[in-house]
Chain A
């Protein structure tokens, strides 16, 4: 056995200090590179939302000066905020990476997505389009920006999370994940969902956006918007979510904490116009990100778990 323990060079003491953001960043880069090294045909989900914007920054750090070893893909519900879609296209172009867009509306035309009512949320229907796209391209790994702090069901998610040939997640039968050794193996038709920022919280995301000076869509910052107060949420008035009879429309200074499907995403009152101001608000906020902003998660305590089992991101 060689002597592998070295005396610690004292002059390096100050260099060894790494912040929690450095730690999270390094872990995520390691995971992205493992996907590139082990998976034959990966893809990265990019919606134009802040978590996937952070993923792209991490991918730059993981792979530049080379190109990304995967395309970007967005599952478009057709109910997205215009600012977010514009940002999505601009960012993909700036990076010079390939962006694939698959839309829920195409699935509806094909008849694979059928909504109960025309104005139903298309958020859950995304799962169908997403699985169709994975099958179309034969992706064996799909990288996403989900975080474990978002929701109870996510807290149990693996970094590399196995999906069977129906795209289903089986929380009772997950692969144990030890050290930094990820079992990425799948049979044909199965795939992995990979979550490099699992260990990040909402606050970590904003601290990183501030530190790295990362651009995000304008609606993450304060702006005046027509809203309706409904069930304790501020419901935005949009082309697909008009006011109901008897409701009063108000104009309020708001920002979005998440920028998902228009029909189920609500802003919060805020005057924050910079990442630093958002960090100050996030540090003292009293409501969870999804609790304040997502109508779909409030349906039942187990609604995320059910959607995830069906293939939802």
Chain B
């Protein structure tokens, strides 16, 4: 797929395409809150009492028109300080699919929050103020989306009404964006001119941008196809629980979610760490037996042979096994306000498995504003993106993050504080 590849369109117009999760990246000045407010308002996800509250708040602030950005205004603590403290999730739906927005605020903890929001996002909307063009933060947001493996990136060139809806401005910003983004190899990259304030090209086409013949933001979000991406990978089934009712029942199943791939009854699978091969006898879902499970399905597997399997083990496609790794190289984002503990010892949580890990080396640290890599930094601070080597007390069954977002990711937990201190993406196994 090239950068300008066509988005695959899904079947019938009436089909329920499931859920699309996306993140919006940009500062308040780019009109991010206004865009989210506009999406929620124009898709009728806003109720009268919410709108009435926002109208009251707008009037109180001396604004003439209803400030849609106030719809996403959050906690008391935030209103007092005029900031947003954390990732908030917003919902809207069309007849075609349900949407979950991770709304991440832009301030000093931005990298940490955007990494968090992007980790579960299928798509990212990068907002650019048409008057300002590509800024350092645009590059930073795009890089983070790329780092977290977000495959669909939509560059929303906003506030077009303030540049007289100029196509030249749009084209220049697009060229400037492509100038740095080419290196990132984003599989699906789109550009949309819009005015979130006036509602042009968000849900409705509006009137100001008649020269633009592409899809509106909502049409694009509705048409992005995410279902098959995970199905096309090798099967990975991290075991969450062993289901044994006991007392008069000889049922023994393995409960978990098929994180990638497709599994059918009769398929050959391997269980790790035992390395034993067997076949799938049944795929159970409450009182139903299914012939096949696809990526994302939470099911219970019954295997043909009795193998010793417990939580933290993985059932995988035979001949397409994950790596059994006791030492990994990974790109991490440091999430904690404190630097790594002196011993460099953590609990690493990967799929359903937690193992002890030691930070063997910090190989480089990337300056997220200049993209300069500093080799062998002395320590790590919050928001740092670094390449590290970790040695593990017990093996994990992993793929690279580039190959598989679930079996390629982990978090580090500090045992003394129980805090989640880092998010990791495996590069070498």
Contacts and interface: CB of A to CB of B under 8 A. Distances in A.
B33 interface: no
A177 B116 contact: yes
B413 interface: yes
A153 interface: yes
Interface string B77-114: 10000000111111101000110100000000000110
Interface string B192-233: 000000000000000000000000000000000001100111
B400 A15 contact: no
B26 interface: no
Contacts of A25: 298
B403 A4 contact: yes
B77 A172 contact: yes
A181 B410 contact: yes
Nearest to B416: A187
Interface stretch (A43-51, A87-95, A119-127, A196-204): A196-204
Interface stretch (B177-185, B250-258, B363-371): B250-258
B49 A288 contact: yes
B302 to A, nearest CB: 11
Contacts of A5: 232-234, 403
B19 A24 contact: yes
Interface string A124-157: 0000000000000000000000001100110110
A26 B93 contact: no
A65 B298 contact: no
Contacts of B19: 20, 23-24, 199
B50 to A, nearest CB: 6
B403 A65 contact: no
B252 to A, nearest CB: 10
Given A23-B19, A156-B74, A291 B400 contact: no
Interface in A154-194: 155-156, 171-172, 174-181, 183, 185-187
A179 to B, nearest CB: 5
Contact of B120 (A26, A153, A179, A186): A179
B188 interface: no
A24 B88 CA distance: 18
Interface string B296-323: 1110000000000001000001011111
Contact of B116 (A2, A19, A66, A176): A176
A22 interface: yes
B89 A291 contact: no
A8 B228 contact: yes
B48 interface: yes
Nearest to A171: B75
A34 interface: yes
Q: Which residue, A1, A66, A148, A174, has most C-beta atoms of chain B within 10 A?
A: A66
A63 B404 CA distance: 27
Contacts of A306: 76
Contact of A65 (B251, B311, B317, B335): B251
Contact of A8 (B232, B245, B410): B232
A30 B237 CA distance: 12
B294 A9 contact: no
B119 interface: yes
B244 A156 contact: no
A187 B418 contact: yes
Given A12-B262, A15-B294, A60 B286 contact: yes
B18 A19 contact: yes
Contacts of B259: 180
Interface string A278-313: 000000011110011000000001100110000000
B75 A305 contact: yes
A34 B240 contact: yes
A98 interface: no
B88 A156 contact: yes
A279 to B, nearest CB: 12
A67 interface: yes
Contacts of A37: 240-241, 311, 352
A176 to B, nearest CB: 5
Contacts of B249: 65
B420 interface: yes
A19 B297 CA distance: 11
A179 B120 CA distance: 5
B16 interface: yes
Contacts of A252: none
A284 to B, nearest CB: 9
B86 to A, nearest CB: 5
A183 B227 contact: no
B406 A288 contact: no
A29 interface: yes
B228 A16 contact: yes
B283 to A, nearest CB: 12
A33 interface: yes
Contacts of B296: 18, 22-23, 26
A172 B418 contact: no
Contacts of B319: 2
B243 interface: yes
Contact of A20 (B98, B295, B322, B419): B98
Q: Which residue, B244, B251, B255, B349, has most C-beta atoms of chain A within 10 A?
A: B255
A291 B47 contact: yes
B119 A6 contact: no
A61 B286 contact: yes
5 contacts: A171-B75, A174-B86, A178-B115, A178-B409, A305-B75
The 3 lowest CB-CB distance pairs between A and B, nearest first, are: A291-B49, A302-B76, A29-B298
Interface of B: 11, 15-19, 47-50, 53, 73-77, 85-91, 93, 97-98, 100, 112-113, 115-116, 119-120, 227-228, 231-234, 240-241, 243-246, 249, 251, 255-257, 259, 261-262, 285-287, 292, 294-298, 311, 317, 319-323, 335, 347, 349-350, 352, 399-400, 403-406, 409-411, 413, 415, 418-420, 423, 429
Given A15-B294, A61-B285, A149-B91, 6 more contacts: A2-B320, A8-B232, A18-B294, A63-B241, A203-B93, A286-B47
